[in-house]
């Protein structure tokens, strides 16, 4: 279901919701999509955001945007280093942003009261902003948390204390292939570790984050019941017992028209796909953060070239460590794949995945990418790098069985085999059929009476009752 209404004509309910996205692409997208969904439910929307990676307000003329005057972070921020130490980055970001966030929120609440505008119903914050709840509490503003990962990944973070107690953590090399009995279908190597110089930082970050979730007035997930039924039951029975939860996803299927992309999306990707045969193309993208070394970059390039399957490859500047863009490619490579391969810096990914020419998505298994692929019935080759990507990849390959997990050393022969398996062989056909089945489930859950539709109704009532 794709609800396309003129936002300016939607009825308003006199209540305003403040959204606070984490300033990274994989977090901005779902939060702004959520804003559009809540706007369609009658809420006015205010986005409080950092100066770092600020969203493009022109694409959302019906939202109010409120920027920090200075987050003290933008000058020192190095995009290529984000994945090196996520816990340290998030601890530092939270510490630097507490004062600007408080100031922004105070100004907003005061000016609205003075001007007798809509009253504020609640704050919806990204879970990684663990400063948000206590600041909002000071203003007596209820807080709901948006978890931008899958329910399974969120649970696996919440299970860290148990995993530590049972001896899975810290991970030992000899245990990597062992199953995590308490958390099927994960193996030890699928535990969503956050790479860090200091493991205390990771524990500290996850524990404060979890405390905030436990103290919140609700949890929103960009997922849907039919996809994560077992995990949702676990949420109700073992974790977050007394907190109302709202799996209302997939968010982007409500309002695909608005773009929250921080980079300009190369529309020539679509005209190139228009010239390709149905289901003939492999789309390759590793999201907005992952970075690879030159050897891996070259193996990917040769794997794609040798597979003889047409490919659309997103090489984001910064994807190859130490490279500006395509310099590591050998001389003559582009000419050799000319016509069969197309490389862009950033693509309109949702449009790409919905294009009939695309037959497979080779992905890093970020949650947005995974959901976007599921929504279009596209089977995946998963190459996770860190954090929740490990869990997503395991679920894609072993629970939903709509893709395969590319494991071991990244080599051109293995890549070629994986591409052929998904694109050409019977195995891939099975994955495609199961992916199409999930796509149907997506359509049903968003329809009137569907699980996400109902969850959204409950969320709206809940916000109005706070």
**Both tokens assigned to 331:** 């001389």
389 forms part of the interface with ligand UDX (CB under 6 A): yes
405 forms part of the interface with ligand UDX (CB under 6 A): no
> Where in 7-46 is the site for ligand UDX (CB under 6 A)?
24-27, 29
Among 362, 367, 395, 400, contact with ligand UDX (rule: CB under 6 A)? 367
The answer to whether the beta carbons of residues 86 and 385 sit under 8 Å apart is no
Nearest to 141 by CA among 120, 126, 164: 120
- Provide the minimum distance between the beta carbon of 422 and ligand UDX in the complex, in angstroms, as a whole number: 19
251 forms part of the interface with ligand UDX (CB under 6 A): no
> Where in 335-354 is the site for ligand UDX (CB under 6 A)?
346-347, 349-350
Host H or E run for residue 440: helix 426-446
Residue 110: other Cβ atoms inside 10 A: 11
The answer to whether the beta carbons of residues 378 and 360 sit under 8 Å apart is yes
The answer to whether the beta carbons of residues 27 and 52 sit under 8 Å apart is no
Stretch that binds ligand UDX, among 43-51, 62-70, 364-372, 449-457 (CB under 6 A): 364-372
148 forms part of the interface with ligand UDX (CB under 6 A): yes
222/375 Cα distance (integer angstroms)? 12
> Where in 297-316 is the site for ligand UDX (CB under 6 A)?
314
Residues that contact ligand UDX, how many (by CB under 6 A): 27
Nearest to 275 by CA among 336, 342, 350, 348: 342
289 forms part of the interface with ligand UDX (CB under 6 A): yes
| Residue nearer to ligand UDX on the CB measure, 257 or 424 | 257
287 forms part of the interface with ligand UDX (CB under 6 A): yes
**Both tokens assigned to 66:** 């409120």
154 forms part of the interface with ligand UDX (CB under 6 A): no
372 forms part of the interface with ligand UDX (CB under 6 A): yes
Interior/surface letters 431-450, b for 16+ CB within 10 angstroms, e for the rest: bbebbeebbebbebbbeeeb
| Residue nearer to ligand UDX on the CB measure, 120 or 255 | 255
Q: What is the residue-wise DSSP string for 353-369?
A: HTSTTEEEEEE---HHH
Stretch that binds ligand UDX, among 243-251, 275-283, 286-294, 453-461 (CB under 6 A): 286-294
| Closest residue to bound ligand UDX by CB | 26
- Provide the minimum distance between the beta carbon of 117 and ligand UDX in the complex, in angstroms, as a whole number: 32
285 forms part of the interface with ligand UDX (CB under 6 A): yes
> Edge-to-edge, what's the strand order for the sheet holding 15-20?
64-67, 44-49, 15-20, 119-126, 143-147, 219-221, 245-247
- Give the residues lining the site for ligand UDX (CB under 6 A): 24-27, 29, 148-149, 261, 265, 285, 287-290, 314, 346-347, 349-350, 366-369, 372, 387-389
């Amino acid at each position: 279901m794709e609800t396309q209404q003129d936002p300016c004509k939607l009825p308003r309910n006199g209540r305003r919701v403040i959204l606070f996205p984490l300033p990274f692409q994989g977090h901005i997208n779902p939060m702004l999509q959520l804003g559009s969904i809540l706007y369609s439910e009658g809420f006015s929307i205010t986005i409080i955001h950092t100066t770092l990676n600020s969203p493009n307000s022109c694409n959302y003329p019906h939202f109010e945007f409120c920027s920090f005057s200075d987050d003290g972070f933008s000058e020192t921020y190095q995009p290529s280093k984000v994945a090196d130490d996520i816990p340290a980055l998030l601890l530092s970001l939270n510490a630097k942003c507490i004062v600007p966030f408080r100031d922004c929120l105070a100004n907003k609440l005061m000016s609205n009261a003075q001007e007798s505008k809509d009253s504020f119903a609640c704050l919806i914050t990204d879970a990684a902003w663990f400063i948000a709840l206590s600041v909002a509490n000071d203003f007596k503003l209820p807080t709901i948390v948006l978890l931008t990962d899958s329910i399974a990944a969120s649970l696996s973070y919440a299970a860290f204390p148990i995993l530590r107690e049972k001896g899975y953590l810290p991970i030992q090399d000899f245990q990597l292939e062992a199953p995590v009995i308490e958390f099927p279908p994960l193996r030890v190597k699928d535990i969503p570790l956050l790479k860090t110089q200091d493991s205390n930082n990771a524990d500290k970050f996850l524990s404060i984050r979890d405390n905030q979730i436990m103290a919140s007035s609700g949890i929103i997930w960009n997922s849907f019941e039919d996809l994560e039924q077992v995990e949702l039951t676990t949420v109700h029975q073992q974790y977050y017992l007394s907190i109302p939860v709202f799996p209302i996803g997939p968010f982007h299927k409500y309002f695909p028209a608005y773009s929250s992309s921080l980079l300009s999306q190369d529309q020539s990707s679509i005209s190139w796909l228009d010239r390709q045969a149905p289901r003939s193309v492999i789309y390759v993208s590793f999201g907005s953060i992952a970075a690879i070394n030159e050897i891996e970059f070259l193996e990917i390039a040769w794997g794609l070239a040798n597979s003889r399957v047409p490919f659309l490859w997103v090489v984001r500047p910064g994807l190859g460590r130490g490279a500006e863009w395509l310099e590591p490619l050998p001389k003559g490579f582009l000419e050799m794949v000319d016509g069969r391969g197309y490389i862009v810096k950033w693509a309109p990914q949702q449009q790409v995945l919905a294009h009939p020419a695309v037959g497979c998505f080779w992905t890093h298994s970020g949650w947005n990418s995974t959901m976007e692929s599921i929504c279009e019935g596209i089977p995946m080759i998963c190459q996770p790098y860190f954090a929740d990507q490990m869990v997503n990849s395991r679920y894609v390959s072993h629970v939903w069985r709509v893709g395969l997990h590319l494991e071991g050393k990244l080599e051109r022969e293995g890549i070629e085999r994986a591409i052929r398996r998904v694109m050409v062989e019977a195995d891939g056909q099975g994955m495609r059929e199961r992916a199409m089945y999930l796509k149907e489930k997506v359509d049903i859950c968003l329809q009137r009476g569907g699980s996400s539709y109902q969850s959204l109704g409950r969320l709206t009532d809940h916000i109005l009752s706070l």
